[in-house]
Each structure stands twice: as C-alpha cells, then as structure tokens.
Structure 1
C-alpha cells in the first residue's frame, strides 16, 4: 500500500513538473513582423518574416507555431517552433520564422496573433501561448501591364519630344545662346559651340512634357452599396480601381506627367512626373483604401477641362447612361486622346459617347483589361454633332 502511495505521489510530482515547465520555461515579450515587399498586392505573393523574442530559464522541447492570417490574405502560416537551450541569465533568444502570403482583397489587414503550442518533455501536458501583437498589412490593387500608346505617341502628346521652330530654311538660322546647367544635351548647337569655343544651345528648340489626366468616378450611385463600405467588396469598383492604377502606370512609363482626379476635381494622387515609377508605387499604396463616396459629380467634369487642350483624358466610370454621355461630351474636344471606360454601360450610352469623339471601352471584372485597353485606344472616333 505504501508503495502505491509513493508511486502516486511521484506521478503527481511528474505531472506538476510537466505543467510547471510549460508555464515557467518559455515566455515571449516581443513579436515583430516584416514584409518583403513592404506593400502587398492583390494576386501576388509577399514574404512575411517573424522575429519572436523568447526568454527561457530551462531547456524547452520543440513546439508548433501558427500565425493568424486575415481574410484579405491567404497562405499557410505554421510550422515547428525550435527547441531552445537553457538561458539561466535570462538572455533573450530570437527565433526567426517566415512564410509567404498572397493578397486576396484590397485594403489594410492585420496579421496575428501568433500562437505557439508547447508540450512538456514527458509528453504529459500541452499549453498554447498566444502573443497578441498584430501587424498591419497594406494590400494594394493589382496592376495590369498595358500596351504602350505607340500609335498615338505624336497625336496624343506622346513620349517626351522636342519641337523646333526655325526662322529660316535650315538649322543654320537657329538662334544659339550660352549653355546653362539644366539644359538638355540634345539642345547643344555644335556648330555654334565650335565657332565660339563654348557650349551653346538652340534657343528656338523647346522641350515639352506631355500631360495626361486619369479620372475615376467614385459616386456610390454608379456602384454597388458595398463600394462605400470597405475596399475590396464591390467587384465592379475593384475592376475600376485596377484599371485606374494600370492606366496611370502605363502613361507614366510612356513619359506623361499624370494627374489622377475624381470627377469633382479632387486630387487623388499628387501629379506623377513622366518616368517616375517610384511614385506609381506610392499611388498603389494610397489606393489600397480607396472607396466610393455619396455625391454624384460626373456632370461637372467639363468644368475641369474648359478652355484648355490637353493630352489623353481617361475617364473610368461604373454605371454609364445616355444622360452621362451627353454630360461628358464636351470634354472630348479638349483632349488629344479622350477615352471612357465603363463597367456597366446602359443601352447605347457608349456609342453616343463615341459619336461625341470619345474612344470607348468596357471594363469586365472577369476579362483581360489589356485587351480592352488595346481595343479602345485603337478604335477610331466619330465627329461630334454640331
């Protein structure tokens, strides 16, 4: 009988030691996550690196870790948590974990918390530690690579170009002036430079930077109610956002200085200079949280371009009817390449817009945007009614 009592006490001691090892052996103070790249994108993978700071007084057995992935992301975030040696001095040990995630829905989502499931060395007890630190992940809209405006480089304001105004019949009659820092090397007048033994540039040669405007109509009346609630909820609005950022990226790459506007003139992104793809990345991060708004201001669009003639104007709308086509008709006369994309055109509205001078295209959430872009840009326009 005494032997059984001693054996029972021993079992209780072992069980207590097992439980105690789980509660006192491992403690985490810091969980930090870093993403590569910093901003995720819909449809692309991002690597998540997790650093876990662990303090342990006694050796610990391997465990199993799981990081919580929100609905806006997908992936598998789990694996073996390594065993740790004794740290009697209480020094922090850093455990590094990593896993890929894929962007599924535009917006700001939160990774975490991280949980680690531990088992004592005897396999008698199990404990899960949940570390509450969470990390915000910005998921930018997808960006489609669109074909360049090759056929419209001159007529539409094209890539950076130079125009020459000659005073006589030949280049010899061009007026030259001394070179100043900032002048393009293409403007150097080599004959005048050789004659004066100093760098000279052509005065009559003027460099111009082509401009373009991309306008997205965010009026909730033209989208589903979900477009106002949160990013990524309305498929039509998401297709419009993808079209917007893709068109901006294409124009910037082609050398245009691009303004990104709402139909009421609100600047959605500061002007992006031609060739500045870094600012395009900044725009993508800003568009991660773009949603629809209540006011309907499409009819005000002609006021934004009245009295000027500019390069391409790309208008992206949701629902688009005949009244809308009539309202935006004057804008086409102020652009070298007016183009309207509609997600949900009504009746003959796009055909009426084409008759006013617009190039027209339909954005289908399930179709290839590059094909729609090529078709719209390459489609001729009709003359407006007088």
Structure 2
C-alpha cells in the first residue's frame, strides 16, 4: 500500500449542469423555430431560455461563491479497533447553494451543498453528503484498521446556482488528523521477570511482590482498558475505578524500540501518513503490550527509541520529553504516544558519542533491557551490545521478514550473553514474551493461500536450518 497521493487540484470553473445544457438546447431549437415560423413570441422564449444559464454563469463568475467547511473528530485519539465520529459543518459565504429545500424551513436552513469527503482507505470509504449551509452537522463513523496518524480530507464541495443550471466545484484542502494508538495485548504473568534471573540484578532489590495487598484503585480515565476496572471498588464508590499497583516498588526495566528504517526491510506499508512495515507494526504492538504489562506490576519502565530518546506520550513528541521513566499512571500516555512512532533513516555517523549510550550512562540505566528490533547488521548489533554493557541482563526480539532466515546479528547478541528470540509478524506477541526468558525461535509461518496445503512449523524451521547451514 502507498500513502494517499496528493489529489489533483479540482477544476473550479463554473460548468453547466444537465439542466443548463437542456436550457441552451431548448433556446437553440426555439430560435430556429422562431426564424422558420417568424413568431416573435417564440423568439422571446428562446432568448429567455438562453439567458438563464448564461446569466447564472456570469453571476457565478462575478460573485465567486465560497463556503466554509469545518471538520471535527471525536475523539481525536482512539485505540486500534475503536470507532471515531466525524462531523462536517458548512457555512455559506455567498448567495449561492440553495439546493435541498425542505418545507417549513427558513432561508438559512434550506440551502445545502454536496460534499465529497476523501477518507483514508484504512479508516473507511469516501463519503458523499448533502450538507446544510446553516451549520447543522452531518456525521459519519470511521473505524481504523491500523495504528498511526490518519488524515481525513480534503473535501470537494459542489455549489449550484439557485436554478440548478450552473455548478462549481470548490476544493477545501484542509485536512484533519486522527491518531490511532496500538491495542496492547494481554501478556502472561509468567514473563514478568523480563529476562533470565540474575543474582546481581539491581532492579530486584527488596520490594513487595505483586498481590492483592499492595493494589490500590483510582478513578477511571479516558483510554484506560476495561480489563483494569476494579468492579468491587466501582460498586462501592458509585463510579468506575481501575486497579493501580502501589508505586513504592523499585523494580525497573528498559524497553528499546528500534526505529531505524534500514533495520526493517519488509514490505513497506503506511500507518496513515507514517512510513512503516508489517514487522515494525508488530514491534510497536509488542512495545505497547510490554510497557502496559510491566507498569501494571510495580515496574518502572524506561521506554526509549534507538537514539535514546523517550518514546512520545499522548500528543507530545519525544523531543518535548526529558524523563524516560514510565509508571502505571503514564503507561496509557505512552501507548497513545506510539501512534506517532514511524521509521526514520539511520542518522549519519558523527564524532559525537552514541546518544543511546549517553542516555543509559547518564541515567544509570543498568536494569534488564528488552530490545525490539528487525533484521539489523552485525555492526548495529554490536552497537546495542556496547551501549548496554553495564546492564544486568539483556534480551532481544528480532522480527524477521520473509524469507525466514536467521540473521548474523543474532549470533552477535548470543555471544554477548543476550537472550535472543526470533519472531515473524505472524508470531503471537504473548508467545514471544514468554520466550524472552530463555530465547528461541518463534518464526510463525504466513497463513496459507486459499487451497494451498498447511505449512507446519516443523517445515518452516527445517527450511530455516537448512538455509542457515548452507
């Protein structure tokens, strides 16, 4: 799929409608009849029929009809799979646009214009409406099928003269953005340790373990998943309450999402207007799932990208943030902020220190590390190994695109003591999360084509091992 191409500018010249051409044809025929019969009354009729469309076109050209279109999205940020309501309002800025009259309405309420609304295919189909120019809203529903930043618009407004013989198309170039956050998946409790147990792990200082005694509740906030609702507390307080673990815990972890474009060589797709791949979308969902899972279990997560920048929160970009720590109360903001994450070219090498290493050293982040990356080069793998040299334990989930071949960088991570998990975009996120503690290969095969034989995991792994050996 390619991003929505910039639509060609609409030809806004006034044109005759079918009714207008009928008027002109009738005028020509009446003029011929008047000449043939010598009837002045028929000549007057031909002049009237010809002047109506011509004068309407002249008036349309002189007065330049304009309308003001306003589009609003409620809510402006949704979770993948949820619906959003889009409302269109049109205000008239000229004397035209009086189609669509209804009995008993005022002059301001009777006028209407036809609006063609362009919609991102990942949100739904293009919409066509007859919108009253009185400002009364006309709405439709969109349900996104991929996270990212999606655009609604531009719109084309068709304005007619009062007689309906001349029409003009007005191009309303304004666009409205809808942010779509990934939908975190429920992860198994068994993987909460993030990595293999290490006796010298500074993140495992004495702290209370997750349990009913150190779980508190707070009021429900927009965006909180319904599975966190504490129904007993909600019944007691008379309003929705959600579970929130006691923040006294000192357990910490580091989650790094690799956004380097060259590390995700799969088929290019678009998350709205953001460049992405299917493998990167899997990694974004996994990052959202891990952050939410750990923060709900008394763990402070330092969520970073490959350059050591904090992952964006809500509608703010990473450049506006300084603190990388994410607790339970900020986890939802990070999940929402992942709607803005996109692939970016690898930065040009410079003489300055590696920004990821600087960030980890400056904040003393020696806690367990989970890296979500794609098919990167051995040199890029060594960069991550050097940057996290002081961490207690490290794990990496490598989302490999087809063909399912073990990359050489996996050996670099394993030789440095990392737990390596190889996954594909068809791998279950929870299965990859469980494998983080011990490593392994979970490269699930693609779904079979209709009528094709089912490809088993043994076949996939057998082919992968044979290619690796070769």
TM surpasses 0.5 = yes
Question: Would the alpha carbon gap of residues 324 and 61 (structure 1) be closer, same or farther in structure 2, given more than 3 Å must change?
Answer: closer
1:365 is paired with a residue whose SS is coil
Question: Would the alpha carbon gap of residues 25 and 72 (structure 1) be closer, same or farther in structure 2, given more than 3 Å must change?
Answer: farther
For 1:303 and 1:129, the matched residues in 2 are separated by 53
Which consecutive unaligned segments of at least 5 residues does structure 1 have?
85-92, 164-183, 187-205, 381-386
Question: Would the alpha carbon gap of residues 146 and 95 (structure 1) be closer, same or farther in structure 2, given more than 3 Å must change?
Answer: same
Match for residue 284 of structure 2? 241
Tell me, yes or no, if the aligned pair for 1:253 and 1:275 is still in contact at 8 Å: no
Alignment of 1:148-227 (within 5 A): 148-150=188-190, 152=192, 161-162=207-208, 207-224=248-265
- Alignment partner for residue 182 of structure 2, among 142, 151, 164? 142
Shift of 1:208: 3.0
1:113 is paired with a residue whose SS is strand
2:293 is paired with a residue whose SS is helix
Match for residue 48 of structure 2? 10
Shift of 1:342: 0.5
1:319 is paired with a residue whose SS is coil
Question: Would the alpha carbon gap of residues 17 and 209 (structure 1) be closer, same or farther in structure 2, given more than 3 Å must change?
Answer: farther
Tell me, yes or no, if the aligned pair for 2:266 and 2:279 is still in contact at 8 Å: no
Shift of 1:59: 7.6
Question: Would the alpha carbon gap of residues 275 and 23 (structure 1) be closer, same or farther in structure 2, given more than 3 Å must change?
Answer: same
For 2:248 and 2:94, the matched residues in 1 are separated by 67
TM-score by length of 1: 0.65
Match for residue 283 of structure 1? 337
- Alignment partner for residue 75 of structure 1, among 122, 125, 133? 125
Shift of 1:5: 0.6
For 1:6 and 1:31, the matched residues in 2 are separated by 41
For 2:135 and 2:373, the matched residues in 1 are separated by 51
For 1:150 and 1:332, the matched residues in 2 are separated by 26
Shift of 1:8: 0.6
Shift of 1:327: 6.6
* Most deviating of 206-215 and 321-330: 321-330
Tell me, yes or no, if the aligned pair for 1:81 and 1:116 is still in contact at 8 Å: no
Alignment of 1:30-109 (within 5 A): 30-39=68-77, 44-55=82-93, 57=95, 60-62=98-100, 63-70=113-120, 73-82=123-132, 93-103=134-144, 108=149
- Alignment partner for residue 340 of structure 1, among 362, 375, 396? 396
Matched length = 327
TM-score by length of 2: 0.55
Structure number with the higher strand fraction is: 1
For 1:65 and 1:221, the matched residues in 2 are separated by 41
Match for residue 111 of structure 1? 152
CA deviation digits over 1:317-366, x for unaligned, max 9? 22246676677568588336x32110237357547745755443234234
For 2:158 and 2:127, the matched residues in 1 are separated by 14
For 2:187 and 2:215, the matched residues in 1 are separated by 30
Confirm or deny that 1:261 pairs with 2:304.
yes
CA deviation digits over 1:43-97, x for unaligned, max 9? 6543222222224547811242112235675433222234x6xxxxxxxx31312
Which consecutive unaligned segments of at least 5 residues does structure 2 have?
1-38, 101-112, 217-246, 313-322, 441-470
Shift of 1:218: 3.4
For 1:185 and 1:147, the matched residues in 2 are separated by 19
Confirm or deny that 1:232 pairs with 2:298.
no
